Amino acid sequence: MRNTLGRHSGNTDDGRDRREHHPAPGRSRRRRRRGRAFILFAAAFAIIIGLGVTGWYVLDTSAGCGGQDVRLDVAASPEIAPALQEVAAEFSDANEGVDGRCVTAEVSEAESASVTYGITGAGPASGDADSDVWIPDSSMWANLVKNDSEDVAFSDTGTSVASSPLVLARPSEAEMPDERPSWDALVPTSASDLEAEGDEVHLVDPVRSSSGMATLSLVADAIGDEEDDGRPQLVAALQTLQASSSPDQAAAFENLSEDPEASRLLVLSEQATWRYNREHSDAPAQISYPEGGTYTLDYPYIDRSSDPTVSQAAELFREKLTRSAAQKIMRRNGFRTADGEADSQVLAEDAGFQAALPEQLPTPSAGDIQRITQAWNRLKLDSRLLTIVDVSGSMLQTVPGTEMNRMQLTAQASIQGLDLFPEGSELGMWRFSTTINDDLDYEELLPIRELTAEVDGGATQREALRQQWNSVEPVSDGDTGLYDTYLAAYREMSRTYKADRVNAILMLTDGNNDDENGISLDELATKLEEESSPVKPIPIFTIAFGPDIDPEPLNRIAELSGGASYTTENPAEIGDIFLKAFSNRLQPAGGESEDEG
């Protein structure tokens, strides 16, 4: 029987069998040695090729991996999490790996604010701050973390996985304005504007939302809150926005849908508006883009791992998210790419979306964000205010250039000023002159109550205050018992102090103290110093009007109490001075005086 393997390996090119030649023994051994060398060389070559292939697979990570998986935990803003989960599933199925170990990416929803406050401990709430990768909806949150937490593992890769600019959404049947509003014209910025007709602006709580936080920053930047003259305008804007802010996006969606004809607008991202319209396809929101540009949510990719292997895995997933297939998934879910490209079938122009990315405004700095959110929180704290009005005879004097006396103009401006106070505020009202309440220079007209509280006759406290202002009359022969009234009001507010509110006194007067039987300025100052407490601050704000006002005593009282005093010759300016008084809450406590005249 022939040895087939031997036959095939021993055949010459012409088919003759080498065994017929009977080679010499030495030659045969040399041939066998060369044959063994060839086999060893071939084996070594195969090993080298195999190592090369294996090495190539480790780098390419596309032909399989083994060993214990490397788990990559990704925390992402809830609206982008579904798209990222789809990409992560493809990534994990492709057996992407590092050091021969497969990487499994797991994406979970995490509110950007919760992660930020969980890391920094500087916010009103905290959440689960642990993850290997973090994808918040905005670099604003990342900037806050970098600013407040130096010791945490935190590497901004410079990659934006998606983008979505802020837009203005209106109810489906609301009348659209002829011109696009700009950020500085979005909300009222003066007392006289507060009662003007216009869109009711809604935003999501800026302490919890990037769209809300960006809105505050953009409005503040447009107003110019760095200058003293900008603070009252900022107060008016913040007060207006606080009156219509929603605690979360779900509540904001509900506000937008409840009245299709309402003259209101909501600041949202494009992607959020797209989601809203999908959920309300029978009455989709109308969309407009702010004049002069807008801010864009940029979804930064943050590596938070301190493990080199996990960081390699994070880099693989980051690279996956930049590929065209992943970006297509982002566009399909209502996002734009980092450079602004949108899917025209998703963000369709006939639905109000524009194809081109709008003009981009810079990302607010961490310092700007902290200042504006602090201002928001200070103003959000409900007020507890006792307002005291001068009813001395001089309030009957006619104000030059008008047909109204000082009391009438004061009442008109004060009623307007009521609109600055949110529903949860507590307000009361006194009047003062000399000996108008037996031997007392002051008299309570309405006790301090919440503005929504029901009073006699079924009216609310706010309505009762309006009625009281419309009916208050000066005492024709009355003088000005200023210092006794200050002290009595301070003691009343101290006795009834509420720590969860801003407790303050507002004095409206047109004269100087002329009660010869009352205490002196020095006696008042001594008692205020003795009875004040740093844990129970009660600032006194005085608005004085008239040509004969001596501001020095009022400034001294303001300094002692941590309040402020303002003087003007025109009571009609009281409304705007209210805003200046409120702006005192945007800065550290301390006396302030200002001459408006």
The rounded distance, in Å, linking the Cα atoms of 158 and 339 is 13
* pLDDT number for residue 581: 67
Please return the burial class of 292, using the count of CB atoms within 10 Å of its CB with bins 0-12, 13-18 and 19+: middle
Place of tokens 């607010």: 364
- Residues 270 and 107 sit within 8 Å (Cβ to Cβ): no
Q: What is the pLDDT of residue 103?
A: 94
The predicted structure's pLDDT at residue 118: 87
CA atoms within 13 A on the CB side of 201: 27
* Measured distance between the N- and C-terminal CA atoms of the chain, rounded to whole angstroms: 126
pLDDT digit string (tens) for 175-233?
888 888 888 777 665 555 545 555 778 889 988 899 999 988 888 887 775 445 556 77
Task: For residue 182, count CB atoms less than 10 angstroms from its CB and return exposed for 0-12, middle for 13-18, buried for 19 or more.
Answer: middle
Q: Would you state the pLDDT for residue 587?
A: 55
**CA–CA separation, 237 vs 231, rounded Å?**
10
Q: What is the pLDDT of residue 557?
A: 95
Q: What pLDDT sits at residue 279?
A: 94
pLDDT tens digits, 317-360: 999 999 999 999 999 999 999 999 999 999 999 999 999 999 99
Three-state SS string across 340-373, please? CCCCCCCCCHHHCCCCCCCCECCCCCHHHHHHHH
In the chain, which residues have pLDDT < 50? 1-63, 194, 226-227, 588-597
pLDDT reported for residue 188 = 60
Question: Cβ(211)–Cβ(275) under 8 Å?
Answer: no
The number of beta carbons lying within 10 Å of the beta carbon of residue 553 is 20
